[in-house]
Amino acid sequence: MTKPKIVILGAGYGGIITSKRLEKLLKDGEADITLINKHDYHYITTQLHKIGVGTAADRQFAISIPDLVDSNKTRFIKGAVSTVDIQNQLVHLDGGDTIEYDYLVTALGFEVETFGIPGIKENALAIRSFRSSKAIYHHITKQLNLYKEDQDPSRLTFVVAGGGFTGIEMLGELAEGLPNLCRQHNIPFEKVKIIAVEAAQSVIPFFPKQSIKYATETLEKFNVELMTSKKILECTPEKLLLESDLEIPARTIIWSCGVKANSIVEKFGLPLEKGKIPVDSYLRVKNITNVFSVGDCSLFMKDEKSYLPPTAQVALQQAPVCAQNIVSTLRGNELKVFEYHHKGSVASIGNFAAVGLVGRFRLSGLFGAFMKQVIEARYLFNLGGPALILKQHFRIDRDPV
């Protein structure tokens, strides 16, 4: 008898943890697991701002997928999904290969939301993937080199668009990392401008007032110029155009104004809501019992009106339930209802400051920064035990890009 084929698309937080949990839950020979990802490394998205400024080694946040999965249980395919044929239970990859499935998990993550603002897609940089973040680093160093030739001050103006969590994490990293990059390039850091542009009245507008105050003061201490209540209207290669006819001459615009589901899911012929794949309480695509979806590309309703946000925390809680429900389906057992437990949020502002909210407790300063490190280390520990933490921090090997 042929074994059921479980195929997981995407090896980000949701996909890699689903596959690892399936490895544990399935008995020998019970099913085949195939994990498909564009690249052969899993990147730590929550730390991509560090890759963007070059404040961390690539190997710390890009981990070989073949090293993470058990090759006796999971077949890893490095390939880009081009579409899925739900009727015939096939996954199509770029280059023409097709993979059959009996059970499918879509975990294809997010992409940057540009809201159709002119010039963003073409001229702004995105903290989307390991590669896009590495591109930010290369762009910054290129501007530093070009400044030495033409002395154009717009080359030393670094703008972060959007003051949500991604924005403040990037601003903190720029403030801490640029002095060093300037030293390496023989450029006086005093000439550098770091600017935050946010449409709302403050950065992290969705957080408590005291946390907003702390984040604002911390960024100001870093000499970040905060332009709040300023909506971005257009971006060209040389400047950013804002409401009220304001312009910022700058060659580096780092766009962090929000995310949406990976638009590839639009090709799957599945019903979509808000551009995402709606799932039921068992994480199955509505009305399709053999297709599951987790993480940022899915829409899970918390209640009738609100849905879960696109966070690693959600993807990481969904993945084990998804794996368990696939195994239960195979065995004819009852499925588990997914229940989300919010454990809090912590965002870093450089290495020594952070803002967070855990239950009703507000975190800030060094303690917040320490907690952020603990959360990151805990993820690595869950992924590969203490050995992985040591390996990521001490191994020297080739860059994945």
Footprint of ligand NAD (CB under 6 A): 117, 161-167, 169, 197-200, 205, 231-232, 256-259, 309-311, 345-347
Asked if residue 7 binds ligand FAD (CB under 6 A), the reply is: no
CB atoms within 10 A of CB 245: 7
Under 8 Å between Cβ of 290 and 102: yes
In the residue annotation, 273 being an active-site residue is answered as no
Write down the catalytic residue from 111, 169, 173, 376.
Answer: 169
Tokens at residue 269, please? 């012929």
Which of 274, 270, 303 has the alpha carbon at shortest distance from 287?
Answer: 270
DSSP 205: T
Within 207-310, residue ranges assigned H as helices are: 209-221
Asked if residue 54 binds ligand FAD (CB under 6 A), the reply is: no
Total interface residues for ligand FAD by CB under 6 A: 33
Phi then psi for 12, rounded to 5 degrees? -85, -155
Binding residue for ligand FAD, selected from 6, 7, 8, 15, defined by CB under 6 A: 15
CB-nearer residue toward ligand NAD: 161 or 299: 161
The helix/strand count (H/E) of the chain reads as 10, 25
CB-nearer residue toward ligand NAD: 16 or 195: 195
Asked if residue 388 binds ligand FAD (CB under 6 A), the reply is: no
- 37 is in the binding site of which of ligand FAD, ligand NAD, none (Cβ under 5 to 8 A by kind)? ligand FAD
Q: Helices 13-25 & 365-394, crossing angle to 10 degrees?
A: 60
Under 8 Å between Cβ of 249 and 238: yes
Asked if residue 107 binds ligand FAD (CB under 6 A), the reply is: yes
Question: Least Å distance between CB 144 and ligand NAD?
Answer: 26
What is the Cα–Cα distance from 348 to 365, expressed in whole angstroms? Answer: 9
Question: Least Å distance between CB 189 and ligand NAD?
Answer: 26
Point out which residues bind ligand FAD (CB under 6 A).
10-15, 36-39, 45-46, 48-49, 80-81, 107-110, 127, 129, 166, 169, 262, 264, 295-296, 310-313, 315
